[in-house]
Amino acid sequence: MTLAPDAVRTMFDRIAPVYDVMNRVMTAGLDVRWRRLAAEAAVRRGDRVLDAACGTGDLAIADLKAGAGKVTGLDFSEQMLARARKKAPLEWIRGDLLALPFADGTFDAATVGFGVRNVADLELALRELRRVLRPGGRLAVLEITQPRGALKPFYSLWFDRIVPLLGKVLPGGSAYTYLPASVRRFPSAERLAALLRDCGFGEVRFRLLGGSIVALHTGIAA
C-alpha cells in the first residue's frame, strides 16, 4: 500500500518528536556514520548543496561539515523542519521533492537520506533532483533497501516485528508500522541504480552498508 502525499506528511509530522531517537535505535547509532559517508560522497568544498527530504536536518548538517559553502534543507513536514531549525542556522525550506522550488542547475550537489522511499513518484523525484543540479553535479541517495545474504532473516525479524513494536512505545511512533511495507515495495539497489541512469545520471554506483540493509547510491548529473 502506497500512502497518499498528505498522509505521508501527516505521518512525518506525527513522528517528528521521536524521529531522531528511532533512527538511533533502529540502526544502533550507525545512521550517523552513514550520513557522513553520503555527505562525503557528494559534497566538495564550497559547494551549493541541497539536502532534499531533510527531515530533522542531520544529513544537511553533515553536508556542511563535509565542506559545503551553502546548504539548503527542504522537507514537506513543518514539524520536522521545526526541529531542524533548532539544530543549525541553515536555510530550511518547506517544499515538495516532486516540485522543487529552484531553478535548473541551482546546486553543485544534492543529498537525500531516507527520503526517496516515501515519495509518490520516485522517477519524478529523481528527475527533479537532476533538474536542479548543474551538469557534473553530484547526487548521493542513502536509503533502506531490501536485505540480502545471511543476515536477511535477522533483518526481516527486526523490521517486520521489533521496530514496529518499539515505535508503539513512543508517542506517535506507531507510524513505524508503515516502515516494513515501504521497504518491501521500494526498488532493489540494482533497480534504483538503473532508474538513476534513466533519469539523467551517469557514473552511477552503489555500496551496501549495515550488512546490506542500507544502500548508498551516487551519480553525476549528465
The model's pLDDT over 52-63, given as tens digits with 9 standing for 90+, comes to 999 999 999 999
Q: Looking at residue 91, what is its pLDDT? A: 98
**Which has more confidence, 56 or 27?**
56
pLDDT tier at 2 (50, 70, 90 boundaries)? low
Where along the chain do its domains lie? 5-221
29-38, 43-52, 86-95, 151-160: the lowest-pLDDT one? 151-160
Domain 5-221 has CATH 3.40.50.150: yes
**Which has more confidence, 176 or 196?**
196
Q: Looking at residue 167, what is its pLDDT? A: 65
Average pLDDT in the 36-58 region? Answer: 98
Phi-psi label, residue 67: left if phi above 0, alpha if psi -120 to 50, beta otherwise: left
What's the burial of 161, exposed, middle or buried (CB within 10 Å: 0-12/13-18/19+)? Answer: exposed
**Which has more confidence, 109 or 171?**
109
Q: Looking at residue 5, what is its pLDDT? A: 80
Helix or strand holding residue 50 (H, E): strand 48-52
pLDDT tier at 6 (50, 70, 90 boundaries)? confident
| Coil, helix or strand at residue 106 | coil
Residue 61: count other Cβ atoms within 10 Å of its Cβ. Answer: 21
Q: What's the pLDDT tens digit per position in 65-113?
A: 999 999 999 999 999 999 999 999 999 999 999 999 999 999 999 999 9
Mean pLDDT estimate for the chain: 91
Q: What percent of the chain has pLDDT over 90?
A: 67
